């Protein structure tokens, strides 16, 4: 059994464990939803799997879960060194706001459409993490274009008309 040293305690005190814990929690939640998604999404339609309603949530949940794997390992490693240490930097507001933004992304797709929702979510997300506004705008534009090409052009998946636009036109 290894002994804890003062150096281990000092290293653990410097690491923002609260942020890592939040990232690990989001990733584990995404992994659970990924596993349960076949039972949570109605797949009774005639479309093949790659055009069905399950492919997009599974892609997003898989990317979220995989991106949280390093945070899970860091939390497990540092919790073993100092089990009840919190980072002391307060609430991880930026990470929490990004999580809320991603929770609002699916309703935004229904409200304003896939391309517009993707553009807005990526732009706001990058601005939250303090990227330059011109870089955020360029990346958001490229991501919206890629989503359009991937889903509408290559996979021929068309989403319903956004309900916000239908309300305005009526």
pLDDT digits (tens, 9 = 90+) for 128-166: 887 788 899 999 999 999 988 888 888 777 777 888 877
Q: Are 22 and 90 in contact (CB under 8 A)?
A: no
**Contacting residues for 105 by C-beta, under 8 A, at least 6 apart:** 117, 121
Can you read off the two tokens belonging to residue 164? 């916000």
pLDDT given for residue 85 in this prediction: 47
Region of 88 (left: φ > 0; alpha: ψ -120 to 50; beta: rest) is: left
Which residues of the chain fall below pLDDT 50?
1, 84-86
pLDDT given for residue 82 in this prediction: 55
Residue-averaged pLDDT of the chain: 78
pLDDT tens digits, one per residue of 12-22: 555 556 677 77
Nearest to 37 by CA among 62, 7, 13, 14: 62
**CB 160: neighbour CB atoms within 10 A?**
9
**Contacting residues for 156 by C-beta, under 8 A, at least 6 apart:** 51
């Amino acid at each position: 059994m290894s002994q804890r040293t003062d150096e281990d305690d000092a290293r653990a005190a410097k690491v923002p464990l609260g942020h890592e814990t939040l990232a690990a929690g989001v990733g584990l939640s995404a992994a659970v939803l990924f596993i349960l998604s076949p039972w949570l999404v109605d797949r009774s339609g005639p479309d093949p799997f790659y055009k069905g309603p399950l492919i997009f949530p599974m892609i997003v949940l898989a990317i979220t879960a995989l991106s949280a794997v390093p945070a899970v390992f860091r939390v497990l490693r540092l919790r073993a060194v100092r089990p009840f240490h919190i980072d002391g930097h307060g609430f991880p507001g930026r990470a929490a706001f990004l999580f809320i933004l991603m929770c609002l992304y699916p309703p935004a797709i229904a409200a304003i459409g896939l391309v517009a929702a993707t553009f807005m979510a990526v732009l706001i997300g990058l601005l939250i993490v303090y990227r330059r506004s011109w870089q955020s705008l360029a990346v958001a534009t490229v991501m919206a274009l890629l989503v359009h090409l991937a889903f509408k052009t290559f996979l021929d998946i068309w989403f319903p008309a956004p309900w916000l636009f239908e309300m305005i036109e009526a």
